[in-house]
Homo-oligomer: A and B are copies of this chain.
Amino acid sequence: MDEFSFIDAIKPSYYKQSTLIKGIGDDAAVIRSSANDLVTAVDIFVEGVHFKRETMNAFHIGYRALAANLSDLAAMGADPAFYLVGIVIPKSWSDSELKEIFQGMKELADFYQMDLIGGDTVSGKQLTISITVFGYCQKEKVRFRHTAVQGDVVFVTGTLGDSCAGLHVLSEPGEYKNQSYFIKRHRMPSPCLSFVKELQQIPRVTLNDISDGIANEAIEIAQASDVSIHLEEQKIPVSKEFSQFPKELQHKWKYFGGEDFEILGSVAKEEWPLVKMAADRTNTQVTEVGFVTSTEMDAGNVYVHKQGRKVKLDKNGYTHLK
């Protein structure tokens, strides 16, 4: 199949977004301006680095890649609208597998009324998918990571470490409880878009999506906001059968594993009940996991409180006693 037939095969038969003037079929796509801000990000996924054929089929590769991007939109408080896909295709991938990759993206895109509006397909040695997403956000309701302040409640959606647990289940065959749950969390993560949308009445919420582990994301918020974030070990939410895995792996996956695409946030104490209500309305688990302080000396740091001790958390996965 040549590039043109391939584009024909994945080209949408109609577009859902009313602001789209031109989708696939010219040198570029054209989007009419609207009252909202446009939010955009790109992510690249490489075979052997971000996914393996042994643990993900083509459909899930596409699904998960778009889910990761949508998680970025969720973390900005944006509603997804469009996506562009650049793909590097090695000879070892069949036409039907490639269509499955796009089908995986389409399943998620259709759910969120997103349009595929363009892309580029080229040949190469390593399957590589570059997705650019576009979303809309009401002006002044974009959720940045630099807005956390002292006294905030720190919260997290869902449970952490499940995606890594799922990969472990797929890579190390054995007897596991809740096996299909963990596998699904790895292959088909759910971006927290509906929950984030329900937060719109709250004037200030600081959000980051957990793509690289809560440690990393908390440090990003702490640094951008010039505050310290304190996490309470026993409050970090994990799923029911998470304790079946070795303690060391639990710790690693929970803090540094990432790819759960849950949301880490911080909000003023008085708005915390509103966050819980938003979670209830969208059937989202939300857990208070810590608090924010602000002293000049400590700005940009993240601490885990555990059995009366305070441990500093580092980006790279090491923890130093303090």
Measured CB to CB, the residues of A under 8 A from B are 4, 21-22, 25-46, 48-50, 72-73, 75-76, 78, 84-88, 117-120, 122-126, 128, 130, 132-135, 137, 139, 142, 144-146, 207-209, 224, 315
Task: Evaluate whether A33 and B33 lie within 8 angstroms (CB atoms) in the complex, with A42-B119, A49-B124 already known.
Answer: yes
Residue of B nearest to A124 (CB): B46
**In the complex, what distance in Å separates the CA atom of A146 from the CA atom of B27?**
11
Chain B residues with Cβ under 8 A from A45's Cβ?
Answer: 122
Contact A33 B42 (CB under 8 A): no
Contact B44 A37 (CB under 8 A): no
Chain B residues with Cβ under 8 A from A21's Cβ?
Answer: 37, 142
Task: Evaluate whether A75 and B37 lie within 8 angstroms (CB atoms) in the complex, with A42-B84, A122-B49 already known.
Answer: no
**In the complex, what distance in Å separates the CA atom of A45 from the CA atom of B86?**
10
Chain B residues with Cβ under 8 A from A85's Cβ?
Answer: 42
Chain B residues with Cβ under 8 A from A124's Cβ?
Answer: 46, 48-49, 126, 128
Chain B residues with Cβ under 8 A from A37's Cβ?
Answer: 21, 30-33
Residue of B nearest to A50 (CB): B122
Chain B residues with Cβ under 8 A from A42's Cβ?
Answer: 84-86, 118-120, 130, 132
**In the complex, what distance in Å separates the CA atom of A218 from the CA atom of B124?**
27
- Knowing that A26-B75, A31-B40 are A-B contacts, what are 10 other residue pairs whose CB atoms are under 8 Å apart, sorted by A's residue number? A21-B37, A26-B224, A29-B41, A42-B132, A44-B86, A45-B122, A46-B88, A48-B124, A49-B123, A126-B126
Report the minimal beta-carbon distance from A139 to chain B, rounded to whole angstroms. Answer: 7
**4 residue pairs, one from A and one from B, having the closest CB atoms:** A130-B130, A28-B41, A33-B33, A27-B75
11 A-B residue pairs with Cβ-Cβ distance under 8 Å, sorted by A, are A26-B146, A28-B72, A28-B78, A31-B40, A32-B139, A33-B34, A40-B118, A40-B132, A42-B120, A46-B124, A130-B130
Chain B residues with Cβ under 8 A from A4's Cβ?
Answer: 315
Report the minimal beta-carbon distance from A220 to chain B, rounded to whole angstroms. Answer: 9
Chain B residues with Cβ under 8 A from A78's Cβ?
Answer: 28
**In the complex, what distance in Å separates the CA atom of A48 from the CA atom of B142?**
41
Q: Which of B29, B86, B88, B137 contacts A40 (CB 8 A)?
A: B29
Q: Which of B86, B135, B146, B207 contacts A130 (CB 8 A)?
A: B86
Task: Evaluate whether A38 and B33 lie within 8 angstroms (CB atoms) in the complex, with A27-B76, A86-B130, A209-B27 already known.
Answer: yes
**In the complex, what distance in Å separates the CA atom of A59 from the CA atom of B224?**
32
Report the minimal beta-carbon distance from A256 to chain B, rounded to whole angstroms. Answer: 15
Task: Evaluate whether A40 and B130 lie within 8 angstroms (CB atoms) in the complex, with A46-B124, A145-B26 already known.
Answer: no
Residue in A36, A48, A126, A128 with the greatest tally of chain B CB atoms within 10 Å = A128
Report the minimal beta-carbon distance from A183 to chain B, rounded to whole angstroms. Answer: 24
Q: Which of B39, B120, B123 contacts A30 (CB 8 A)?
A: B39
Residue of B nearest to A32 (CB): B37
Residue of B nearest to A76 (CB): B28
Contact A30 B41 (CB under 8 A): no
**In the complex, what distance in Å separates the CA atom of A21 from the CA atom of B39?**
10
Chain B residues with Cβ under 8 A from A315's Cβ?
Answer: 4
